[in-house]
């Protein structure tokens, strides 16, 4: 196998033309075999095999720096840089990440995960190079989807002033996760459907032979050519007019043409954008036909394309999807906004049913939030459905555009809590902290399937900013018997006893159920309350628990800092200083990729770890007597029976 010869970044350069052709096929087979077994991002990776090979042929890694936008398409890069043996553990706990990580390889120049950062980061690397007087190339690889994000435009605007080499490779497969949207996408389509691929050698040289700049490289000729002639030559005039040399479109599955274009791009002393046309899912018919379905996959059967995972119970996303459609049928002011995630957020159903009330704004969370604020100011009831980690992008817009004006925007915050294999960049573990910090924002977290339905209905009738936050995966179907009406700022008592109170929110209510069962089996009295509202939290509920519990355990799937537990703790310390409080929450750190149950265990938020901690810190028998003594002293009353 040719692939066996690839163990480091220089190895591909030793191959001849035929071997390169075989290599691209072997890489596709390898990707298909591994991803069909363990899951991961498939279609984008199948599309960039030749593009990545050409980068390795034209540049010298790790000396030259390549920044991959989002980074979900970096698998061939990982293979070529010498990591193929680690693919059995891709995206699994302790294994390699599905995204570039500087700590993983010197060939990973910059960590990515969220979209549209690559041009800014690449430009920064190039500026560092120039200030430090170093000599290497910097390349940012950005997809057409990522080019819908605002950061990319801020960076292009800045990159146009560059007076040294900086290369942007635009990987245009005419797809985001779903269909790409918007004016830039239309513009790129017009180039794609234009004259066909740029054949640098024949076409451009022929045309340029009429231009009086002999002796230069092709790319130098193009860049020195007068604008009028360029208009005839160059499809990407939008970039040209900004001051960025456009080169393309190039056939993204022709390694030779790509390598030649990249070598030409290296000759310029400013920013050059190489426009590469690829096919998402290339080489696997099911993914070619349905790139959205094969964007990110669970293990599947290569022959049939069918998922190997058994049909699951409805996810929270499914529940949200159906609920918003049901509510929108009854209220035509309800509109829905997504930042390029109609599939992932479940808004696809809404888009089909209410096409005129659905807005996919591209990968543009900031714009999604502010445009929703505008819609609310204009009299609509917008629901912004967004993953927790991507909402981080829209923080200022939540504060500045929605909350200062107290506008009734509902945030359906999906993938909140630990998401698993995507790791650090995608864990939704900060939203309680950043949302509760904003005045006039309320935050609600359902304990199960039915509470999400009721919570959405409540949120849409509330009339002010509110976030409904729920996790990735199956909706919890336990605790069905508890369905008291949602009241603003009020929690819900589930099992009322005394001594130990578990006060849990969102996904941690079901964990609380297990903790309580185990504590009871060990002879402890234990109350379980569902906080429901993270902000404002239910003070009356805390007051009532304070009457007959000496230990209060708060439980949340969010970092401790700024989260639910610390707010409760402050309140208890101020008002009931004799009560012990334990905060079960995530630590002040980034959580790497891995299976969610493993991560929960490792981070101490699964039921066994919680019991272990409670027993170790508070519930051994000697301590128990001490705690009661302390409690009696503080209150002056004998509480123990
Ligand atoms: C800020 C942010 N929002 C949303 C996403 C989810 N996301 C990941 S890849 C992707 C589509 C990217 O499209 P493109 O750049 O064209 O790459 P392709 O998958 O087509 O190769 C989206 C929306 C993200 N990673 N970051
Ligand atoms: C790369 C990226 O940001 C998305 O593809 C993300 O991995 C989707 O996550 P879900 O699988 O949770 O929809
Ligand atoms: Mg794309």
- Measure Cα distances from 616 to 324, 554, 610, 621 in Å: 45, 17, 10, 10
CA–CA dist 78, 83 (Å, integer): 5
Please list all protein residues whose beta carbon sits less than 5 angstroms from ligand 3, which is an ion.
143-145, 173, 175
The protein residue whose alpha carbon is closest to atom 13 in ligand 2 is 344
Give the model confidence (pLDDT) of 458-507 as tens digits.
Answer: 999 999 999 999 999 999 999 999 999 999 999 999 999 999 999 999 99
ipTM above 0.90, yes or no: yes
Q: Is the peptide bond prior to 536 cis by the omega test (within 30 degrees of 0)?
A: yes
Question: Does the C-beta of 296 come closer than 6 Å to ligand 2?
Answer: yes
How far is ligand 1, taken at its centre, from the CA of residue 394, in Å?
Answer: 16
* 26 pLDDT above the threshold of 50: yes
Is 113 annotated to bind a ligand? Reply is yes
CA–CA dist 434, 397 (Å, integer): 12
Name the pLDDT band for 192 (thresholds 50, 70, 90): confident
The protein residue whose alpha carbon is closest to atom 1 in ligand 2 is 72
How far is ligand 3, taken at its centre, from the CA of residue 188, in Å?
Answer: 11
Give the model confidence (pLDDT) of 388-442 as tens digits.
Answer: 999 999 999 999 999 999 999 999 999 999 999 999 999 999 999 999 999 999 9
Is 489 annotated to bind a ligand? Reply is no
Is 72 annotated to bind a ligand? Reply is yes
* 635 pLDDT above the threshold of 50: no
User: Residue 98, SS3?
Assistant: coil
Is 589 annotated to bind a ligand? Reply is no
Active-site hit among 84, 129, 280, 357: 280
Give the model confidence (pLDDT) of 567-615 as tens digits.
Answer: 999 999 999 999 999 999 999 999 999 999 999 999 999 999 999 999 9
Q: What is the pTM of this model?
A: 0.93
How far is ligand 1, taken at its centre, from the CA of residue 14, in Å?
Answer: 33
- Please report how many Cα atoms fall inside a 13 Å half-sphere around the Cα of residue 166, on the Cβ side: 28
Q: Is the peptide bond prior to 346 cis by the omega test (within 30 degrees of 0)?
A: no
Question: Does the C-beta of 415 come closer than 6 Å to ligand 2?
Answer: yes
Give the model's pLDDT for residue 628.
Answer: 47
Inter-residue contact 386 to 412 (CB < 8 Å): yes
Quick check: is 365 catalytic? Answer: yes
Q: DSSP labels for 49-92?
A: HHHHHHHHHHS-TTTSEEEESSSTT-HHHHIIIIIGGGGGGTTS
Give the model's pLDDT for residue 640.
Answer: 40
Give the model confidence (pLDDT) of 499-554 as tens digits.
Answer: 999 999 999 999 999 999 999 999 999 999 999 999 999 999 999 999 999 999 99
The protein residue whose alpha carbon is closest to atom 11 in ligand 2 is 296
Quick check: is 481 catalytic? Answer: no
Is 44 annotated to bind a ligand? Reply is no
Average confidence (pLDDT) over 42-53: 98
Torsion of CA 450, 514, 432, 458, to 10 degrees: 20
Please, which residues have CB within 8 angstroms of residue 626's CB and are 6 or more apart in sequence?
none
Q: Which residues line the pocket of ligand 1, CB cutoff 6 A?
A: 44, 69-70, 72-73, 114-115, 143-146, 173, 175-177, 280, 339-341, 363, 365, 390, 393
How far is ligand 2, taken at its centre, from the CA of residue 296, in Å?
Answer: 7
Question: Does the C-beta of 593 come closer than 6 Å to ligand 2?
Answer: no
Average confidence (pLDDT) over 152-162: 97
């Amino acid at each position: 196998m040719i692939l066996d010869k690839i163990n480091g970044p220089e190895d591909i350069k030793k191959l001849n033309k035929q071997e390169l052709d075989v290599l691209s096929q072997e890489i596709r087979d390898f990707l298909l075999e591994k991803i069909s077994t363990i899951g991961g991002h498939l279609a984008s990776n199948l599309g960039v095999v030749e593009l990545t090979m050409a980068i390795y042929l034209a540049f010298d890694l790790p000396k030259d720096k390549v920044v991959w936008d989002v980074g979900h398409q970096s698998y061939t890069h990982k293979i070529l840089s010498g990591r193929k043996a680690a693919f059995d553990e891709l995206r699994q706990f302790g294994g390699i990440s599905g995204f570039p990580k500087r700590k993983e390889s010197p060939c990973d120049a910059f960590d990515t995960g969220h979209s549209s950062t690559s041009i800014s980061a690449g430009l920064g690397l190039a500026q560092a190079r120039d200030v430090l007087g170093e000599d290497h190339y910097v390349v940012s690889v950005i997809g057409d989807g990522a080019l819908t994000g605002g950061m990319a435009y801020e960076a292009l605007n800045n990159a146009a002033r560059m007076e040294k080499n900086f290369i942007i490779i635009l990987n245009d497969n005419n797809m985001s996760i779903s269909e790409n949207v918007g004016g830039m996408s239309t513009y790129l389509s017009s180039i794609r459907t234009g004259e066909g691929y740029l054949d640098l050698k024949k076409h451009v040289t022929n045309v340029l032979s009429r231009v009086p700049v002999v002796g230069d490289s092709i790319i130098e000729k193009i860049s020195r050519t007068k604008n009028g002639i360029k208009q005839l030559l160059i499809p990407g005039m939008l970039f040209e007019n900004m001051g960025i040399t456009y080169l393309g479109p190039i056939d993204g599955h022709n390694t030779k043409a790509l390598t030649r274009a990249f070598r030409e791009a290296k000759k310029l002393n400013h920013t050059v954008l190489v426009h590469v046309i690829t096919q998402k899912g290339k080489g696997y018919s099911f993914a070619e036909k349905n790139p959205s379905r094969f964007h990110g996959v669970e293990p599947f059967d290569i022959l049939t394309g069918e998922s190997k995972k058994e049909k699951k119970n409805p996810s929270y996303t499914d529940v949200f999807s159906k609920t918003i459609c049901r509510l929108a049928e009854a209220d035509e002011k309800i509109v829905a906004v997504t930042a390029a995630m109609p599939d992932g957020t479940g808004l696809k159903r809404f888009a089909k049913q209410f096409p005129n009330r659905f807005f996919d704004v591209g990968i543009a969370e900031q714009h999604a939030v502010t445009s929703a604020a505008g819609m609310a100011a204009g009299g609509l009831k917008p629901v912004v459905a967004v993953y927790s980690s991507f909402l981080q992008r829209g923080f200022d817009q939540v504060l500045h555009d929605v909350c200062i004006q107290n506008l009734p925007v509902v945030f359906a915050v999906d993938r909140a809590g630990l998401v698993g294999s995507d790791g650090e960049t995608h864990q939704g573990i900060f939203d309680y902290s950043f949302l509760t910090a904003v005045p006039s924002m309320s935050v609600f977290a359902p304990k199960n399937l039915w509470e999400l339905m009721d919570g959405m209905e409540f949120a849409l009738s509330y009339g002010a900013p509110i976030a409904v936050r729920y996790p990735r995966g199956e909706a919890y179907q336990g605790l069905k018997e508890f369905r008291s009406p949602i009241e603003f700022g009020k929690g819900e008592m589930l099992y009322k006893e005394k001594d130990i109170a578990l006060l849990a929110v969102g996904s941690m209510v079901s964990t609380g159920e297990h903790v309580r069962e185990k504590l009871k089996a060990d002879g402890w009295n234990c109350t379980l309350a569902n906080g429901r509202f993270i902000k404002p939290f239910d003070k009356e509920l805390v007051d009532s628990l304070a009457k007959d519990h000496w230990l209060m355990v708060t439980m949340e799937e969010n970092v401790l800092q700024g989260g639910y537990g610390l707010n409760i703790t402050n309140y208890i310390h101020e008002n009931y200083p004799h009560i012990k409080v334990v905060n079960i929450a995530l630590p002040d750190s980034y959580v790497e990729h891995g299976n969610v149950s493993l991560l929960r265990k490792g981070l101490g938020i699964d039921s066994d770890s919680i019991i272990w901690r409670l027993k170790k810190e508070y519930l051994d028998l000697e301590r128990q007597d001490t705690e009661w003594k302390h409690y009696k002293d503080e209150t002056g009353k004998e509480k123990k029976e």
